[in-house]
Amino acid sequence: MQTNQERIVFDNVSMQFDTPAGQLQVVQDMSFSVNQGDFISLVGPSGCGKTTLMNMAAGFVKPTRGRVLLDGKHIEQPGPDRGVMFQEYGVFPWLTVEQNIAFGLNLKVSKNLDAAEKKEIVDRYLNLMGLTDFRKAFPKTLSGGMRQRLALARTYAVRPEFVLMDEPFGALDAQTRSAMHDLLLDVLYAEGKTVMLITHSVEEAVYLSNKVLVISARPSQIREVVDIPFPYPRHRSLQETPEFNTLRARIHNSVMQEYAAQEALAKQKRVA
């Protein structure tokens, strides 16, 4: 259920990196908030700082200026309230499917669960993600789609309030990706999570989100915040509607302008 309660707040955030070529201003004075129940997607040119913003929400890095807050408190470090899912590092290859799902439950923060409770959670997510028959399998024997489902199961099993996803479906074929979208929407609808997603697919962003942030070329600012008005639960047929396609085309256009701006900047630097 989406509400207006602000949960994660980026307040005038800037980020600068020291690089061999000098200081790189990645994010500049960016402010936005992720509200309770939001599914918010970040789209923008490659290298504009999307992962950097997500890393701040996850607690992996701190901004050089400004504040990133969770329920009014500075985000200082990662926590079990925020489940992070990356494109490539979602599963541990040395653990079986069920051990992967149980991994987070065995950490100190989840120690208050007894063995029966852990088993119940693992079974539930094996079932939900269609992996029950593969519980003893190792990730390398799974297809790409199954590995992504496993990564999702692992992220969800610790019951994070927030799910932070960085290009989680980028490596999947179109059909598996589409199936993953519906699975994600089903689980989110049932469990009511708050989600931040980074994607290069505007279509994916519009289909999944209630809000899309278009990030500008570096130094990055928010070019626009687009509200996606389609009610949940959503069905794939939405993607065939003129309303969906109008919105998709508008956002795509906006992103492409920022890609062009970033490319022009890079060219200028090459000439200089």
Ligand X SMILES: Nc1ncnc2c1ncn2[C@@H]1O[C@H](COP(=O)(O)OP(=O)(O)OP(=O)(O)O)[C@@H](O)[C@H]1O
Residues within the interface to ligand X (CB under 6 A): 17, 19, 24, 26, 46-52
DSSP 79: -
How far apart CA 220 and CA 16 sit, in angstroms, is 11
How far apart CA 17 and CA 19 sit, in angstroms, is 6
Minimum Å gap between C-beta 47 and ligand X is 4
Measured from the CB atom, the residue of 128 and 215 that comes closer to ligand X is 215
Minimum Å gap between C-beta 100 and ligand X is 25
Measured from the CB atom, the residue of 150 and 198 that comes closer to ligand X is 198
Structure token pair of residue 90: 């979602």
Minimum Å gap between C-beta 215 and ligand X is 7
Measured from the CB atom, the residue of 25 and 239 that comes closer to ligand X is 25
Measured from the CB atom, the residue of 27 and 152 that comes closer to ligand X is 27
CB atoms within 10 A of CB 264: 11
Determine the 3-state secondary structure of 80 from DSSP: coil
How far apart CA 99 and CA 254 sit, in angstroms, is 43
Minimum Å gap between C-beta 206 and ligand X is 18
Omega before residue 219 within 30° of 0, cis: yes
